[in-house]
């Protein structure tokens, strides 16, 4: 996020357990861990549907039961409402 | 299932809430309902992974948040342990 | 589709090989066959993404390598541009 | 791969266009690019099915239409037949 909206972002992240600002990037991220690959991929399928619907796609890495998600809005050069909406949706999916 | 294993099947179904023998077929089925299409498809993704792993595939119909599943083992002409294993896995996925 | 737009629909279907009006329903459909379950499910994943994006979902049945698709627009009581858009997208996915 | 099987691996990679040994790791990798996210995710769905079937899972990162795949067999500490089988399957999926 831009220096000017750091405060807003901190407030937003406070409601998103496990999410943090990625070092050296205007982006937020979280590492999700699941019971196994099957559960991880089902989560990814659900996020994929949302991403396509929002036309807003995560950067993500999967290794077996682990999914590392990074969210940023390239067009805005930082974290926007879109990223926060997606992060909250991911929390609902694993909730 | 064959007439000879009706009793076994009834006992097995007793542990699978919502599952029933499909009228006129040696097959079992259940209608699953989800919050929305996204949740339904995430379930399908997970079942698809299991199906491919087991080399045992469901007959299933999806309309928005609803997934109708029918399980039978064609090679055996009826319901087998494979179908029960899959039904139990589906229950875990929605549990 | 409504009686009044049968002609339009016939013209639209002429460009969609394998698609036909479903008997007794204001809906169009096609049976897709793939090499195996894996190819069928990859197709379904792609259609699912589009469906969620369009907020327009198919009725579909999958048995191993076969996917039976039925498209209609419930709110309109018949086939609309949304269905034709989706049918054309499916053709691109298998093309 | 182990130093002892470098030659075998080079021969194997020669048949896999775009695949290379990952710097500093006993692993092979490739960057796949697709028309869009939808095509990328359909590929991932198909690979996920295979991975679960083989009980052999890729390390992979997706950003929109790009999928970076890394394959190694942790239990063996290097590249094995499983990785080559999976790499060849991926080539068939995009072929």
> Smallest CA–CA separation between A55 and chain B, in Å?
16
With contacts defined as CB-CB under 8 Å, which chain C residues touch A48? 45, 49
- Residue A95 pLDDT greater than 80, yes or no: yes
From A91's Cα to the closest Cα of chain D, the distance in A is: 20
Contact (CB, 8 A) for C40 and D46? no
Query: Helices B37-54 and D37-54 sit at what angle, rounded to 10 degrees?
Result: 40
Residue C4 is predicted with a pLDDT of: 47
Neighbour order of strands in the sheet with A20-21? A20-21, A28-33, A66-71, A59-63, D59-63, D66-71, D28-33, D20-21
State both tokens at B59.
């007959």
User: For residue B62, which residues of chain C lie inside 8 Å, CB to CB?
Assistant: 58-61
Whether residues D49 and B50 touch (CB distance < 8 A) is answered with: no
What is the reported pLDDT for D4? 47
* Residue B83 near residue B71, CB atoms below 8 Å: yes
pLDDT (tens digit per residue) in D34-83: 999 999 999 999 999 999 999 999 999 999 999 999 999 999 999 999 99
pLDDT band at B3 (very low <50, low <70, confident <90, very high): very low
Q: What is the pLDDT of residue C84?
A: 97
Please check the confidence at residue C3 and state whether its pLDDT lies above 50.
no
Assigned CATH topology for domain A3-94: Gyrase A; domain 2 (3.30.1360)
Q: What is the pLDDT of residue B27?
A: 95
Both tokens of residue C82?
């949304």
Helix/strand/coil (H/E/C) assignment for every residue in C4-27: HHHHHHHHHHHCCCCCEECCCCCC
pLDDT digits 0-9 by tens, D66-78: 999 999 999 999 9
A42 CB neighbours in chain B (<8 A) are 42-43, 45-46, 93
Q: Does C31 touch chain B (CB under 8 A)?
A: no
Rounded to whole angstroms, what are the CA distances from D12 to D19, D22, D28, D87?
Answer: 10, 15, 11, 10
- Quick check: C37 contacting B, CB < 8 Å? yes
Chain A, chain B: beta-carbon pairs less than 8 Å apart: 26
Better-predicted residue by pLDDT, C7 or C68: C68
- In angstroms, the separation between the Cα of residue D93 and the nearest Cα of chain C is 9
Only one residue has tokens 């690979």, namely D47
Residues B34-68, buried b or exposed e (16+ Cβ, 10 A)?
Answer: beebbbbbbbbbbbbbbbbbeebbbbbbbbebebe
Q: Which residue from D minimizes the CA distance to B55?
A: D53
| CA neighbor of B28 nearest in space, from B94, B87, B90 | B87
> A-contacting residues of C 42-81, CB under 8 Å?
45, 48-50, 52-53, 55
- Cβ contact (<8 Å) for B61 and C57? no
Neighbours of chain A (3+ CB pairs under 8 A): B, C, D
CA distance D7 to D49: 31
Please give the residue of chain A at the shortest CA–CA distance from C53.
A53
Q: What's the mean per-residue pLDDT of chain A?
A: 93
Interatomic CA distance for residues B85 and D17, integer angstroms? 40
* Across A46-59, average pLDDT: 98
Which residues on neighbouring strands pair with residue B31, listed in sequence order?
Answer: B68
- What pLDDT is stored for residue A4 in this prediction? 47
The shortest CB-CB distance from D52 to any of A37, A57, A58 is to A37
Q: What is the ipTM of this complex?
A: 0.92
Confidence of residue C12 (pLDDT cuts 50, 70, 90): confident
pLDDT in tens, B45-91: 999 999 999 999 999 999 999 999 999 999 999 999 999 999 999 99
Secondary structure class of B63 (helix, strand, coil): strand
Contact D48, D54 (CB under 8 A): no
Give contacts of B45 with chain A, Cβ < 8 Å. Answer: 41-42, 45
Q: Helix count (H) and strand count (E) of chain C?
A: 3, 4
pTM above 0.90, yes or no: yes
Is pLDDT of A3 > 50?
Answer: no
Q: Residue range C77-94: average pLDDT?
A: 96
């Amino acid at each position: 996020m831009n220096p000017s909206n750091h405060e807003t972002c901190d407030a937003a992240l406070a409601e998103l357990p496990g999410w943090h600002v990625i070092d050296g990037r205007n982006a937020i991220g979280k590492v999700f861990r699941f019971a196994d690959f099957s559960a991880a991929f089902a989560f990814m399928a659900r996020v994929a549907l949302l991403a396509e619907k929002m036309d807003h796609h995560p950067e993500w890495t999967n290794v077996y039961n682990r999914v590392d998600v990074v969210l940023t809005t390239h067009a805005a050069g930082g974290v926007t409402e879109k990223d926060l909406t997606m992060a909250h949706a991911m929390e609902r999916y694993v909730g």
